[in-house]
Amino acid sequence: MDTSSVTADGSACISERQNSILTTGKSKSSIHCADDSLAGSVSQRACVFCGARVVLNPVTDAAHLVHGPIGCATYTWDIRGSLSSGSEMYRNSFSTDMKERDVVFGGEKKLATCIDEIVSKYHPPAIFVYSTCVSGMIGDDIIAVCKAASERHATDVIPVESSGFLSGNKVVGYRAAAIALMQLIKPREGETVEKTRKLNFLGEYNLGGEKWVVERYLREIGIEINVAFTGDSTVAALKQAPGACLNLVQCTGSMHWVAMSLEQEYGTPYQDVNFFGSANTAESLRKIAQFYGEPEIIRRTEALIDREQARIQPVLQKYRKKLAGKRAAIYVGGAFKAVAIIRQLKELGMEIVLTGTQTGKKEEYDNLSTLLDPGTIIIDDANPAELEKFLLEKNVDVMAGGVKERVLAYKLGIGFVDHNHDRKDGLAGFDGAVRFAREVYVTTCSPVWGQLKAAGRRA
Amino acid sequence: MLECIPEGSVVHTTGKINPAKTCQPLGAMYAALGIHGCLPHSHGSQGCCAYHRMHLTRHFRDPVLASSSSFTEGASVFGGAANLKTSIKNVFAIYNPEIMAVHTTCLSETIGDDLPNIIKTAEIPEGKTVIHVNTPSYQGSHITGFSGMCKAMVSYLAQSDGTTKKSQMNVLPGFVNPGDMREIRRIVDLLGVKMIMFPDTSNVLDTPLTSKYQMYPEGGATVTEIRDAGNSEVTLALGSFASHDAANVLQDKCGVTGIPLKLPIGIKATDDFIMAIKDWFGVEIPASLTLERGQVVDTLIDTHFHYQGKRVAIFGDPDHMIALTEFLLAMGMVPVYVLTGTPGKAFETEIKKMLEDAGITGSRVKAEGDLFELQQWIKEAPVDLLIGTSYGKYIARAEDVPFVRFGFPILDRAVHPLMPVVGYRGCLRLIEQISNALLERRDRDCLDEDFELVL
């Protein structure tokens, strides 16, 4: 944005936003976050529905039915990039396509008919029914409709209370999804799920096959994944979730509450893991091995780590040579992702000058600050004007973020790496660390930036 | 997706499976971006705004800015008036646009916010403008929303100074790419007629990379220009679904003659567009345009045996489908399935008439359809080619049909927003894409002994 269109004092931010931005080492106060966005702001945030959709959509053999006007279904149709080893049912988009008459007279009947038709066509093992702004506002009782349909068809029809207006914070939608998942996996009256020595992998969405990478490591050290929440999961596998002896939690924003609930209801302990970056991967594998505590598992884990590190470190060093000293910015959905990226960029010798999230919590920001050098800008719920201001001020070479930040970064002549739903290459594990380094290198050191400089010379 | 069509008899009477449309606000937002110095504003939950920006960004691969009233539960209970007033204040204070174009969402519509009154009582800085359109997502489609925002531009802004009209024309381009709008301008410039085109997203969503980001790029019809549209002699409204309404309002309000046309996609529709300008203003058609037309006819003859008689399924926005059907018929292809997600019986009537005139029977034509139905039809009786948005790729893969991307949105290929499909140059692009898709399939499938260098 040109400077004439910012406020008179030259700052791109309105005064109410000042507490949402701080500089490490300078500001004493803690960051203002998890607030609602200002009315009239150009926020990069989304809504409750969005949060619920991204968490549940990777359940591969379920039908996902959006109860609302068409847009909510269209915008969330197969955008997550979660891969499936079996059913592709989740990649279809089902909508009740509410019309004016449904808004006036209620959409419950139409919803029931849609459920009936989905069952008759596909017999899915479960149907998730998502409420949206309108169905929530007019008071459609999706819980009752789902309950009746469940009984009628003897299948799981699970309501997800995800009306967009409930909050502009995706985290609230994660909770709605979590409640739906807990409902799905609850064993029937009188039934129990046998405990096994397998583990669940929470907050893993199998983007670019990332779950499969971790699954191969665990298999090698002698541990099986029971089910992932929710990458490449099936309804039947999710129902076995209470049988795990351990829950790994990766994306803490979406799954911490599920982990706590699983511990409460089924007595399963949990631990946080992070498979982004070689150091994180090694650390996470060791933690898991320690939990099992068996010498053979520990031995295999060390062997795996040694072998993989020996294989990838020379490659990473090559990228490090190209990237050391370059300046990076991060703006992502949640704090988990931010932490993961900070570590990896540091491993590549890069300097992080700006970090922000859409939905971080206070304690997460406190944790972020400890990882960053003094002088780093930390920002909550940034608007594009703020991002632009700091990207230019801090002379950033590469940015990690999501869809909307990509084009902004490019326009400013800054490289971009997608660490969001759009990424197509798995970035987890040791090979993922190499792929990440390669992506950062490709975009930071693209020869195309030379054309920009050439244009400058010509002018 | 591969299991989208189940075996056996199928009941699909209600709701949508794999939609071929999206909601009104997206169209309104896109149209608003075609006003210079405009910040579109979504009056509803934050998610809507984020989704529309994301969808548009994925198609155009350029930044799309828009603000939101950021509804929360409170606003939903007590009404969104306070949110909108605060928004208007904040938007002008922080982002300082020339004009703010507000559209509603299904939420604010359901609550029943009275936008004209809220805007009237809001603090709007001197010299700045706020316009609005009601875009309930539970009616119509993104095309309806686009049309609605075009109408709002006319009803809020256009003004007639008096009785004498200026020798200039308005063009309502419809929901097309910036590359198309740029091409329309090139053709009109060649004809030497002064034009006000609105909306105009060229130089807004196809901007060059310069290392400087302009929140309000150079392009877009200015408020002054749209105001002056009321003084034009004539309006060419391209596409009945996206543009005709606004032209009608302009005719009623300012007495500007509206000429309804198709989108200038294909040789005949382009001829009609150029002839309408020639007939109204009495200008000569320059030799360069005659040459372009001749090249299209030449190319059609050079390639006609590649596609003549081939069965083709097409889906997308109604104005695009109407013009494309006409062109495919001119190419000698057989449109067997024509589907749009946008409601409107007029769509079916118009396409059926064209097919009938061409002596084609047994085709299926449907408005307000979805891609489940289209795939079902293709499974029952296959086609040689599928033309449509990126969402067609699932069907193309499942049914193994060659596929040409056309329309909005295209999420999996780049460059297309810059390459026109309108005008004679657009004809060449379409011929090339259609021809190549069929030939590449031939090269892929044929036996070694049939594999030819020269085709």
Give all domains of chain A, ordered by start, each with its CATH number: 3-37+316-454 (3.40.50.1980), 48-185 (3.40.50.1980), 199-305 (3.40.50.1980)
State pLDDT tens for residues B204-216: 999 999 888 889 9
| Residue A389 vs residue B348, higher pLDDT | B348
pLDDT more than 90, % of chain A: 67
Is residue B398 less than 8 Å (CB to CB) from chain A?
Answer: no
Average per-residue pLDDT for chain B: 96
Q: Report the pLDDT value the prediction gives residue A424, as an integer from 0 to 100.
A: 75
The residues in A 103-122 lying below 8 A from B, measured between CB atoms, are: 103, 110, 113-114, 117, 120-122
Cβ-in-10-Å burial (0-12, 13-18, 19+) of B203 comes to middle
* Res A136 pLDDT > 50: yes
Domains by residue range for chain B, with CATH: 24-157 (3.40.50.1980), 166-286 (3.40.50.1980), 288-449 (3.40.50.1980)
pLDDT tier, A212 (very low <50, low <70, confident <90, very high otherwise): very high
Neighbouring C-beta atoms of residue B99, cutoff 10 Å: 23
Collapse the DSSP code of A171 into the 3-class scheme (helix H, G, I; strand E, B; otherwise coil) and give the result: helix
* Res A19 pLDDT > 80: no
Q: Report the pLDDT value the prediction gives residue A1, as an integer from 0 to 100.
A: 34
Of the candidates A196, A240, A199, A233, which has an alpha carbon nearest to the alpha carbon of residue A217? A199
Q: Report the pLDDT value the prediction gives residue B175, as an integer from 0 to 100.
A: 98
Write out chain B residues lying below 8 Å of A385, CB-based. Answer: 94-95, 215
Q: Report the pLDDT value the prediction gives residue A455, as an integer from 0 to 100.
A: 66
Q: Report the pLDDT value the prediction gives residue A22, as an integer from 0 to 100.
A: 77
- The answer to whether the beta carbons of residues A202 and A249 sit under 8 Å apart is yes
Interface pTM, i.e. ipTM: 0.95
Q: Show the low-confidence residues of chain B (pLDDT under 70).
A: 1-3
* Res A10 pLDDT > 60: no
Q: Report the pLDDT value the prediction gives residue A83, as an integer from 0 to 100.
A: 94
State pLDDT tens for residues A402-447: 777 888 899 999 999 987 766 778 899 999 999 999 999 999 999 9
- The answer to whether the beta carbons of residues A208 and A427 sit under 8 Å apart is yes
3-state SS of chain B is CCCCCCCCCCCCCCCEECECCCCHHHHHHHHHHCECCEEEEEECCHHHHHHHHHHHHHHHCCCCCCEECCCCHHHHHHCCHHHHHHHHHHHHHHHCCCEEEEEECHHHHHHCCCHHHHHHCCCCCCCCEEEEECCCCCCCCHHHHHHHHHHHHHHHHCCCCCCCCEEEEEEECCCCCHHHHHHHHHHHHHHCCCEEECCCCCCCCCCCCCCCCCCCCCCCECHHHHHHHHHEEEEEEECCCCCHHHHHHHHHHHCCEEEEECCCCCHHHHHHHHHHHHHHHCCCCCHHHHHHHHHHHHHHHHHHHHHCCCEEEEECCHHHHHHHHHHHHHCCCEEEEEECCCCCHHHHHHHHHHHHHCCCCCCEEECCCEHHHHHHHHHHCCCCEEEECCCHHHHHHHCCCCEEECCCCCCCCCCHHHCCCCHHHHHHHHHHHHHHHHHHHHHHHCCHHHCCCCC
Is residue A90 less than 8 Å (CB to CB) from chain B?
Answer: no
Write out chain B residues lying below 8 Å of A77, CB-based. Answer: 18-19, 391
pLDDT more than 90, % of chain B: 93
State pLDDT tens for residues A337-365: 888 889 899 989 999 999 988 777 788 78
Which of A39, A97, A408 minimises the CB distance to B213?
A408
State pLDDT tens for residues A71-93: 999 999 987 789 999 999 999 99
Write out chain A residues lying below 8 Å of B14, CB-based. Answer: 96-97, 110, 113-114, 117
* CA pair distance B92, B124, nearest whole angstrom: 8
pTM, whole model, 2 decimals? 0.94
Q: Report the pLDDT value the prediction gives residue A29, as an integer from 0 to 100.
A: 57
How far off is chain A from B419, nearest CA to CA, in Å? 19
State pLDDT tens for residues A278-325: 999 999 999 999 999 999 999 999 999 999 999 999 999 999 999 999
Apex B272 CA angle, B430 and B354, nearest 5 = 70
Write out chain A residues lying below 8 Å of B138, CB-based. Answer: 69, 98-100, 102-103, 134
pLDDT tier, A369 (very low <50, low <70, confident <90, very high otherwise): confident
* CA pair distance B183, B176, nearest whole angstrom: 11
Q: Report the pLDDT value the prediction gives residue A3, as an integer from 0 to 100.
A: 32
pLDDT tier, A265 (very low <50, low <70, confident <90, very high otherwise): very high
